[in-house]
Chain A
Amino acid sequence: MSLKYLLKSIWQSAIITIVIIGFFSVVEADVRSSTNYKLESDSINFGGGLSTSSNYSLESTAGEIATGVSSSTSYSLKAGYQQMQAVFISITEANPVIMTPDIGGITGGIANGSTSVLVTTDSPSGYQLTIKASDSPAMQKGVDTISDYAPLANPDPDLSFSTGSGDAHFGFSPESDYLIQRWKDDTFACNTGGNNTALACWDGLSTTEKVMVQGPANHPDGASTTIHFRVGVGGSVIMPEGEYIATSTITALPL
């Protein structure tokens, strides 16, 4: 008889345990994540709701006063419901890049430009910075396009941006103190060594995210990343005149 009660009790307790574990998972931070998103916390809320799009996440809640993030150089205060577990991350707006000088449609040439962003986060695990293009190839003018840079050292980036006489291509090179290994160099090749050489390690943009940086928590100072862009047109390529434009997206994600 006693064994029967024990087995019955174990069965019932197993069900209850599963439920309790589910309950604990609610209060544990970082409950779900993938390469594209991270759920900071699940919680019960009343009178609010959640709205999302590709560019923002808005959650309204009720019954809060004096909420939000306050900070100075020596403290970071997160006040209000759901603030305690939320990770703060921000990215400055990247200025539009007008590359200089103009490239001759007949003579060819090289045009350069760059933009910088400052990422600030208090995520204990740091953050990741990615870049992608809206179109493929990225640089377009109606039906006319400039190819994305294809590194000769593929899958690694090219240490130098090289343009043959028949090439017309568009590439980028990130520069940061927290580059991932792929963008570091030993002055001879990329994805080796530990140098962050300026204007080294070139690759083309694509419509899928390319990770440039993985940095640590840096609130309140933030960390700067500069992205250099270059278009090279060889002398035997005839390019139709006009303004070629690439639209790019930089995303900072807490880890």
Chain B
Amino acid sequence: MIKRIFYSLFCLVFFTPILVMAASGDFIIQVNVSDDFTPPSTPTLLSATATAATQIDVTWSTSTDNKAVGGYVLLRDGLAIATTSLTIFSDTGLAPETLYSYSVYAFDTAYNISSTSNSLSTTTLALPPPIISTSTDNVSETTSGGSTRVVRLKDFSVFPTPTEATFNWNTYGSSNYVLRWGRSNDYNDGYVAGEIYKDSHKTLVTGLEKNTIYFYELTANTPSGTNVLLKRGQFKTEAEIKSISLPNVRFFSAIVKNSDVELSWKLPLVELDSVRIVRNYFGYPKDVNDGVVVYDGVGEYFLDKDVFLDKDVLYYTIFVKDKEGNVSSGAIARAVKVTSSISSDNEESALVPTEEIKEEVKPSFTENDISLKDFSVNSIEIIQNGNINTFLDEKIELSHQDTFTLSIVKKSLPPHLKSIIVTLIDPTDHRRSYSFLLKLNSEGTAYEATLAPLNVVGLSQLRIEVFDFEEQIVGLYTKQIKFLNKTQISEEVVFPDKIIYSFKEFTNLLFILIVLLIILLIIFLLYRRNSKEDEDK
């Protein structure tokens, strides 16, 4: 009998399948060694056309290179004004009736520089007295300076989503534009203006309410300064909500190095499609199309080169995008041109530059805060793992390794705001801070920003700044946040792992007891059997 049991269990142990669990993958890393001292061919400046009193459009031919052309540098009166990979540039903000001279040179990926092209000069148009057209149709024709200029709308379309609307249109004749919109025909909810004179336009209107009718008015300025009404109409935003709140990147910073800006960030641990960095000269880009797209990819570093040629302050926003088209609210950083030292807002201009943050129970409103009229800080919510904290709470403690969302109920805020910025002090280095834009959520009920976990414990501070369209701070609120290592929460495993884990812990103890009991039982049974066998004999 014992032999039979032993044989069966021997087979059981030695003829069972083995499951080896590991995942791996191969990939290559390649570096090219080559010497490239050959500059690209010299481009030819083709045209420099004055299209308005303040704008000249410049075009040039493409260059060729033995490796690859890196781009072009456009010079105005001998000074570099733009670096681009295109062969066209609209130079705006010029003085009327002024002569400007342009030339261009090319550079390759090894930064070899071509000779400078031929030079072309042109004079901007005269600034005419403004003429307002009151045409109510989408066709307008005006006369200026003895010549006839026509601006006619064509191919107009508007595509609303629950919270946004995309406008596309073309015009016969170049123009810039002003688009105004609102829930009544006063069009007083917002406006967007395009400064460049061209015949193809696209713009995105954001911050709309779902399932709502909006009225809009599209006007244009011709290069001769004539203001023309192109179209009035209305659209209705969609009711369906499909989007989700994506966390922003972590540790987004902009460090100025000479004329370059070094941008770095950490990707959030979510399934994302890419991140996009948008640059603007006038304020933080509010959406993925609000400015110059300087980076689109899945890396964590980018060097924005030669960006301080004619601007002293640059505003960057980095958005996280997923494959379903959802976009995060945006993390922001500002770069300021300096001559003697390295500067960036996120590195040096934090909220608490020198002193440490001392833990204290703060009142809900301090003397340093600025309160909006009829606004309660109870409307500011910090949500993590379903737990809701408000600025009225005595203290706020969050897990250091879980995503959290900052939300402000929309109806608690005034109707016309430009932007809301939330800034988080780095708990490990209070000289550093990270800022994010708040964006109207997909339901249109609250302004939200979802922040990826910093994965560090310590005392931090949240600062919320509310700006109006005059760029004035109309609301300022601060609150201490403590990030804790709540591993007991995060280490919880879900079914069925939890059962397995608990079962294994339990069986470790139970196993020894069972073995001992079995040994005693076997000894007892064998003792009885041996005794009986002997008695039978």
Contact = CB atoms under 8 A, between A and B. Distances in A.
Given A5-B531, A59-B19, A249 B518 contact: no
Interface residues of A, number: 113
A200 B300 CA distance: 14
Contact of B522 (A16, A26, A49, A231): A16
A239 B33 CA distance: 7
Interface in B297-350: 298-301
B495 interface: yes
B23 A91 contact: yes
Contacts of A122: 493, 497
Contacts of B110: 101-102, 104
B233 to A, nearest CB: 41
Given A89-B22, A104-B34, A252-B22, A12 B2 contact: yes
Contact of A16 (B2, B270, B534): B2
Given A19-B9, A45-B17, A245 B28 contact: yes
Given A20-B515, A55-B24, A116 B298 contact: yes
Pick from B24, B266, B515 the residue with the most CB of A within 10 Å.
B24
B361 interface: no
Interface in B258-302: 264, 266-267, 269-271, 298-301
A216 B491 contact: yes
Interface string B96-137: 000000000000011000000000000000000000000000
Given A13-B522, A76-B497, A86 B29 contact: no
A17 B522 contact: yes
Nearest to B22: A253
A21 to B, nearest CB: 7
Nearest to A90: B23
A113 interface: yes
B21 A57 contact: yes
Interface in A46-84: 48-50, 52, 54-55, 57, 59, 61, 74-78, 82, 84
Interface residues of B, number: 66
Contact of A91 (B25, B30, B522): B25
A153 interface: no
Nearest to B19: A40
Given A5-B534, A12-B526, A251-B23, A99 B515 contact: no
A16 B495 CA distance: 36
Contacts of B271: 118
A15 interface: yes
A113 B29 contact: yes
A6 B6 contact: no
A99 B29 contact: yes
B368 interface: no
A8 B530 contact: yes
A224 interface: yes
Interface stretch (B168-176, B184-192, B439-447, B500-508): B500-508
Contacts of A89: 21-23
A206 to B, nearest CB: 14
Given A22-B9, A101-B109, A254 B21 contact: yes
Nearest to A144: B33
Contacts of B488: none
Contacts of A6: 523, 527
A247 interface: yes
Contacts of A236: none
A200 B258 CA distance: 23
A39 interface: yes
Contact of A24 (B30, B36, B511): B511
Contacts of A143: none
Interface string A1-36: 110011011101101110111111110110000000
A139 B30 CA distance: 8
Nearest to A25: B13
Contacts of A90: 23
A94 B16 CA distance: 34
A96 interface: yes
A217 interface: yes
Given A9-B523, A86-B21, A101-B109, A243 B32 contact: yes
Given A42-B18, A250-B25, A19 B33 contact: no
Interface string A82-110: 10111101110111111101111111000
Contacts of B511: 24, 28
A86 B496 CA distance: 11
A21 B6 CA distance: 11
A193 to B, nearest CB: 11
B31 A94 contact: no
A115 B267 CA distance: 13
A251 B27 contact: no
A99 B30 contact: yes
A160 interface: no
Contact of B518 (A20, A26, A218, A247): A20
B12 interface: yes
Contacts of A211: none
Nearest to A119: B23
Given A21-B515, A29-B500, A49 B27 contact: no
B16 A84 contact: no
Interface in B483-521: 490-491, 493-497, 500-501, 504, 507, 511, 515, 518-519
Given A9-B523, A42-B16, 20 more contacts: A9-B530, A23-B12, A39-B20, A43-B16, A76-B494, A89-B23, A102-B110, A104-B33, A111-B31, A115-B29, A122-B497, A124-B493, A170-B31, A177-B269, A177-B455, A243-B30, A244-B33, A248-B29, A251-B24, A253-B22
Interface of B: 2, 5-6, 9, 12-13, 15-36, 67, 109-110, 264, 266-267, 269-271, 298-301, 401, 455, 490-491, 493-497, 500-501, 504, 507, 511, 515, 518-519, 522-524, 526-527, 530-531, 534
22 contacts: A12-B526, A13-B523, A13-B526, A16-B5, A17-B522, A76-B496, A77-B496, A85-B500, A91-B25, A101-B110, A102-B67, A113-B29, A116-B267, A198-B300, A224-B267, A241-B33, A246-B28, A248-B28, A248-B29, A249-B24, A251-B24, A254-B21
